[in-house]
């Protein structure tokens, strides 16, 4: 409870926070086609990359991703400090 607000003002602030947001959330729009690159034995662990990449860039990107596969979190349970529920 903020000492600068009355109980009524505090309730109004809480209700305001619960109201659905009206501002638009902008997200990137994929440009082009994608393919899924598997990063190991498990077929569910794959990354989407653009099909329009030059061959050399694609091979280097795949190699880098596969080299660093242990850095990816595939579920909330694999993220330190995040509640898996």
What is the average pLDDT score of the chain? 82
pLDDT score of 78: 80
Give domain status of residue 15, yes or no: yes
Give tens-digit pLDDT for 61-81.
999 998 998 888 888 788 887
**Domain span at 66:** 7-78
Residue 30 included in any domain: yes
- Whether residue 25 is contained in a domain is answered as yes
pTM of the model: 0.56
Whether residue 58 is predicted with pLDDT greater than 90 in this model: the reply is: yes
| Mean pLDDT of all residues in 21-50 | 84
The count of other CB atoms within 10 Å of the CB of residue 58 is 16
Q: What is the pLDDT of residue 18?
A: 67
Q: What is the pLDDT of residue 84?
A: 66
CB 49, CB 58: distance < 8 Å = yes
Indicate whether 13 belongs to any domain: yes
Distance CA 35, CA 48 (A): 5
Kind and range of the H or E element at 49?
Answer: strand 46-50
Q: Higher confidence at residue 57 or residue 83?
A: 57
Nearest to 40 by CA among 80, 77, 78, 71: 71
Tally of domains in the chain: 1
Tell me how far apart the alpha carbons of residues 66 and 58 are, in angstroms, rounded to a whole number.
Answer: 12
Helix (H, G, I), strand (E, B) or coil at 43: coil
């Amino acid at each position: 409870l903020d000492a600068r607000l009355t109980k009524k003002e505090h309730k109004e602030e809480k209700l305001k926070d619960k109201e659905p947001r009206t501002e638009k959330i902008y997200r990137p729009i994929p440009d082009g086609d994608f393919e899924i690159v598997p990063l190991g034995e498990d077929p569910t662990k794959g990354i989407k990359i653009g099909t329009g990449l030059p061959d050399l860039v694609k091979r280097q990107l795949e190699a880098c991703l596969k080299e660093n596969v242990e850095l990816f979190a595939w579920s909330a349970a694999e993220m330190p400090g995040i509640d898996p529920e």
